Amino acid sequence: MELLKHCMLCPRKCGVNRYETVGACGATNQIRLAYYHLHQWEEPVLSGEKGSGTIFFSHCNLKCIYCQNKKISIDGYGKIISNKKLGEIMLKLQEEGAHNINLVTPTHYVPNIASVLRKTKDKTLTIPVVYNTSSYESIGTLMMMNRLVDIYLADLRYFDDQLGVNYSGCKDYFENATMAIDEMYRQVGSCEFDESGLMKKGLIVRVLILPGHLDDSKKIIKYLYQTYGDDIFISIMNQYTPVNHCLYENLNRKLTEKEYDEVIQYALELGVTNAFIQEEGTQEESFIPHFDKSIL
């Protein structure tokens, strides 16, 4: 794959030859996978009764210092697999009853994934494909997934770019992420659901509230609602779990119930109706997947 010989897949634009070395994401030219399973803890319109067929890719191009999946995103835990094996895993999850195929942190493997989906999509793979991303994406990379992805499950992490610098080592997060989300929306449009209430097509944007940054989360929600109105769903998340000791003390604690309620109330006052909120109990390490590459 020629694109990987001078990799510019994400906004970091490393330009490295991934057949010979790695860039900021840590990935080579081959897919490294950490785990796959039927996941019950995504948004209800994705998990349904049987679960979302989540495929966790190793490495990450954003690498937030607070990442609860550090084992795979930063440490690179996982096993190298072929493109053919990835296709087999997708079909296996479909056979097990998955409502969709959920590609978690796929950015740095898009050429590989697109190749697999072009061979299987609408032929042997008939359930929706979900692209689960930090949104630190390049437009050209997302365009490779056009007509291959049915649902975008996107984060919008920071409104204030200084937070992106401090927590993810990128100075241009908001600009790149909002342009990426615009492209995602252009591709999939307004949300569509099947007769059972499962999402078939559309865009969900997650807002993970970080302790000490309620105002930033409010600005993100306001931006999303003013930009897309009720054409997308906003998932307002309280599940921040401190698993890595951080230099910034606010990141070493959980979000309080009072803080979460304040952000929810703000969203309601704005007029947001298409939203998901989380119950208590999501701030536990038990909600972090137990990665096990032995199943690959």
Lowest mean pLDDT among 122-136, 188-202, 214-228, 271-285: 271-285
What is the C-alpha to C-alpha distance for residues 16 and 276, in angstroms, rounded to an integer?
39
Pair 151, 204: CB distance under 8 Å: yes
**Residue tagged 């990987």 (tokens):** 4
Does the predicted TM-score (pTM) go above 0.85?
Answer: yes
CATH class label, 2-295: alpha beta
By the 8 A CB rule, do 32 and 80 touch?
Answer: yes
Percent of the chain's residues with pLDDT above 70: 94
- Separation between Cα atoms, residue 2 and residue 51, nearest integer Å: 36
3-class secondary structure, 68: coil
Residue that has been written with the tokens 């944007």 in this structure: 205
Are 61 and 81 in contact by the 8 Å Cβ rule? The answer is no
What local confidence, expressed as pLDDT, does residue 296 receive? Answer: 64
| Distance separating alpha carbons of residues 25 and 12, to the nearest angstrom | 9
Give domain limits for the chain.
2-295
Mean pLDDT of the chain: 95
| Mean pLDDT of the 4-12 span | 98
pLDDT band of 245, cuts 50, 70, 90: confident
The distance between the two most distant Cα atoms of the chain, rounded to a whole number of Å, is 53
Spatial distance between the Cα atoms of 137 and 217, rounded to a whole number of angstroms = 20
Is residue 280's pLDDT more than 80?
A: no
Residue 276, token pair as written in the block: 């998901």
Please give the pLDDT value at position 286. 43
Three-state helix/strand/coil letters over 99-150: CCEEEECCHHHHHHHHHHHHHHECCCECCCEEEEECCCCCHHHHHCCCCCCC
- For 182-195, write each residue's pLDDT tens digit: 999 999 999 999 99
- Write the pLDDT tens digit of every residue in 222-232: 999 999 999 99
Q: So what's the pLDDT on residue 290?
A: 61
Predicted confidence at residue 244, as pLDDT, reads: 83
**Helix H or strand E segment including 250:** none
Q: What is the pLDDT of residues 247-279, one digit of tens each?
A: 999 999 999 999 999 999 999 999 999 999 998
Span 198-217, mean pLDDT?
98
Give DSSP secondary structure letters for 29-80: SSEEEEEEEEES-S-HHHHTTT-EEEEEES--SS--TT-TTHHHHTS--SEE
Q: 43-70: per-residue pLDDT in tens? A: 999 999 999 999 999 999 999 999 999 9
Residue 199: pLDDT over 70: yes
d(CA 151, CA 273): 19
200 and 193 Cβ atoms separated by less than 8 Å:
yes
Cβ atoms of 202 and 233 within 8 Å: the answer is yes
Which tokens sit at 245?
């000791």
Residues composing the chain: 296
Q: Does residue 28 have a pLDDT over 50?
A: yes
How much is the pLDDT for 105? 98
Residue 271 burial (CB < 10 Å; 0-12/13-18/19+)? exposed
